[in-house]
Structure 1
C-alpha cells in the first residue's frame, strides 16, 4: 500500500552562479535537500516531498543543472564540484544554513560531493542506490570523448525498445511499474536535444563527474555526518556489492538493504523507504 500524503508542492526558479534552476518545495520545519538521479528530475521525489512535508519537514528538491526544467548549458560546466556548489547555492537562495541531504543514483554522488565540499551545510546524509561505487572499465570512462561516439550512444538510448530495456533493468518487478506511458515519457525525455547534449557532455567530461577522477574519492573518509545507505537488493544498474563498498569507505554509515527492490526504492518500496528515512531523520 502506498503512502497517501498530499502536501501542496510549490515550484520556484532560483538563479545560482548564473544558472536558472527549477526547485520544488513543500512543508515547514527542519530542511531536507533531495537530489535526483540521471536523466530524470525532481519530480521523481514528489511522493517523498509530500511525505516529508506531512511529517513536519521542509523538503527542497532542485532539478540538477542539465536536467528537468533547469538550465542546460552543455560543455565542461558539468562537474561534481559545480553540482556541489550549486546545491549549496540553492540552500543559500532559500535562506537555509543546514540540511539533511538525500541523494539517489547520480544524486547520491552529488550528495557525497556536497557533504565533502560544504561539510558545514550538511547535518545528515542518505544515499540511495548511489552512483560512484562501481569502477567502470577504461573504455566506458573514456569512450564519450571519442568523436561522435557520445552522440551515437545518446541517440540510441532514446529508441523505445532501448528505453524499455533500461527501465526493465531498473525494477525488480518491472511488469508492476513499466507502462507504455512510462516508456513514451522516457522516449520523449531522451529525444530532447538539450537532454542529449547534457548526456554527451557528462560522458565527454567523465573524470570531472567521477569520485575518483575528480579527486574526491580519498576524501570520503572525511565525512563525519551520520549516514544512511539504502539499497535495493535486486538493483541491476548498481548491484548490491556497491552498497557494501559504500559501507566500507564511509566511516559513519549504516546500511539498509531492501529485498525485492531494484534501483528505485522510493518507487518500488515506497513505504519501507519512507519509514527508513523518517526514522533516520528523527534519530538524536
Structure 2
C-alpha cells in the first residue's frame, strides 16, 4: 500500500518529466533540423508574399528521373527522410516541399486554402527548379493534392503514386459539417499526449516505438509556442478544405500511370466519430477503398500492404519502397 501511495504521489511529476522531454519548437521550425538542406521559394499568393520551404536532393548518380513527395495533413517534409535516402540511392532526384501552412513554410494570418492553390504553388517550385517532367507521390492529404496536381498539369506528371490518400470517399455526404471555428478550438487543445494517443490508436494499432515517437514529438513541439494560434488557425482552414473539396469524382480523368500503395488496416475518415453508428462502421475501410479507387483510375495498379495502417512508409518501409522503386523504373 505504501508503494502505491508513493507512485500516486510521483505520477504528476513523472508525467511532467515526460512532457519536459518534448523539445519546444517555434512555428517555423527554425530550431528543428531537417534531414537535408532546406531552401525557400518566394510566392505571391492572395495579396501577400509567402515563403515555401523545400528540400531538393540530386544524387551524383542522377538517372534523369524526378519525383516530388507531398506530405500529409499532420506532417511535413521531414517524415520522408528514409524514403528520400532510398530514392536518391537509386538515382532519383527528389523534391520535397512543405506546403504553405506546414513545416518551415509561411503560416499566413488569412488564406483561402484550396488544392488548386497548393498545386499551383508546387508547379511554380518545379518551374523554378527547371523540372518539366516528374512523378508525383502523395500521402494522406498529399494524395488529394497529388490528384489535383495531376488533373491540372497532366503534361508534367509522368507517373502518379498515391499512398493511403484520404478523400477516397465524400465525407460531407455522410458526416455532419463542423465550421472552421470549431476546428480552430479543437486544434488549440493539441498537445503531445493527445497527438501520441491519436497516432498510436489510428496509425499504429496501439503499438509505439522510437521512430513513431520522433514524428509525434515533431508535431507536438510547436503546440507550446506563443503564436501557436497561427498554426491552429491554418490547420482549421485546411480541415475545411479537405472536407469540402473532394477529388474522387475526378479519378476517371487521370491519364498518368498510377500506383496505389494501401495499408489495409487503415480506417482514416475525417469526422466519422460524428456520423451515426451504422454509417461510421462503413467509413474509412481502406481494404475496400483501395480496390474501389483502383477500378476508378484507368491504367492503375494496386499494392496492398497487410497489417499496416495509414503510414506504410513509416510502419512497413520495405513493403512500401520496394514496389515503389519497381514502378518508377518501369
Q: TM-score w.r.t. structure 2 length?
A: 0.75
Residue 239 of structure 2 corresponds to: 203
Query: Is the 2:57–2:88 Cα contact (8 Å) retained in structure 1?
Result: yes
Deviations 1:163-218 (A, max 9, x none): 1221111124622357666544332245532321111112345566x22xxxx544
Query: Is the 2:204–2:309 Cα contact (8 Å) retained in structure 1?
Result: yes
Deviations 1:137-181 (A, max 9, x none): 558563124xx312221123x133321221111124622357666
Q: How many Å separate the matches in 1 of 2:218 and 2:37?
A: 23
Structure 1 stretches of 4+ moved >6 Å: none
Q: How many Å separate the matches in 1 of 2:98 and 2:79?
A: 10
* Equivalent of residue 73 in structure 2, options 14, 19, 38: 38
Residue 308 of structure 2 corresponds to: 261
Residue 174 of structure 1 corresponds to: 207
Residue 250 of structure 1 corresponds to: 297
Query: Is the 1:230–1:257 Cα contact (8 Å) retained in structure 2?
Result: yes
* Equivalent of residue 231 in structure 1, options 257, 262, 265: 262
Residue 100 of structure 1 corresponds to: 135
Structure 1, unpaired ranges of 5+: 1-7
Query: Is the 1:16–1:90 Cα contact (8 Å) retained in structure 2?
Result: no
Distance change >3 Å, CA 48–CA 173, structure 1 → 2: farther
* Equivalent of residue 37 in structure 2, options 10, 14, 28: 10
Residue 270 of structure 1 corresponds to: 317
Residue 3 of structure 1 corresponds to: none
Residue 230 of structure 2 corresponds to: 194
CA root-mean-square deviation? 2.2
Distance change >3 Å, CA 76–CA 10, structure 1 → 2: closer
Residue 160 of structure 1 corresponds to: 192
DSSP 3-state at the match of 1:120: coil
Residue 24 of structure 2 corresponds to: none
> After superposition, where does 1:28-107 map in structure 2 within 5 Å?
28=62, 29-107=64-142
Q: Number of residue pairs matched?
A: 268
Whose Rg is larger? 2
* Equivalent of residue 24 in structure 1, options 31, 46, 55: 55
Q: How many Å separate the matches in 1 of 2:67 and 2:212?
A: 31
Q: How many Å separate the matches in 2 of 1:273 and 1:205?
A: 28
Q: Decide which moves more: 121-130 or 165-174.
A: 165-174
DSSP 3-state at the match of 1:15: strand
Q: CA deviation at 1:11?
A: 1.8
DSSP 3-state at the match of 2:178: helix
Q: Decide which moves more: 183-192 or 17-26.
A: 183-192
Distance change >3 Å, CA 232–CA 90, structure 1 → 2: same
Q: How many Å separate the matches in 1 of 2:213 and 2:152?
A: 41
DSSP 3-state at the match of 2:208: helix
